[in-house]
Copies of this chain bind each other. A is one copy, B any other.
Amino acid sequence: MSTAVDDELWSAIGDPIRRTMIDLLLSDGPGTATSLSRRLPVTRQAVSKHLAVLDRVGLIHAESAGRERHYQVDEAQLARAVAQLSAVGSTWDARLRRIKRIAEAIERSRITKEGE
């Protein structure tokens, strides 16, 4: 059902810090480990590790500019991740609906039997 690549994408966006980092990169545009750490409750080194994780799964990519290293979101890969989210969401949604239907059917048949 789920592939290793999908699992990596999931665990990448499963972390609250990493989700916030993606939010920041999307809203403020490209940023560095230092600029991001100023808006997050962790040190630059922790941010740097998260950036490495996101880079490894391809959700962001870096560009060196002098002594700075600018990261920005890879739009295509993030779109893939969003698709994953909605896929799992709709699967669960469908199953919840089906369970509800079955439960209602059982309820109906129980009432019918009682009426016999």
Stretch touching chain B among A49-57, A63-71, A79-87:
A79-87
- Assuming A79-B96, A96-B79, is B85 touching A86 (CB within 8 A)? yes
A91: min CB distance to chain B, Å: 8
Q: Which residues of A contact B (CB under 8 A)?
A: 1-2, 7, 10-11, 13-16, 19-20, 22-23, 26-27, 75, 78-79, 81-82, 85-86, 88-89, 91-93, 95-96, 99-100
Task: Offer 20 A-B interface pairs, CB within 8 angstroms, sorted by A.
Answer: A1-B23, A2-B16, A2-B19, A7-B16, A10-B14, A10-B19, A11-B16, A14-B15, A19-B88, A26-B92, A26-B95, A26-B99, A75-B99, A75-B100, A78-B96, A79-B93, A82-B89, A82-B92, A85-B86, A86-B86
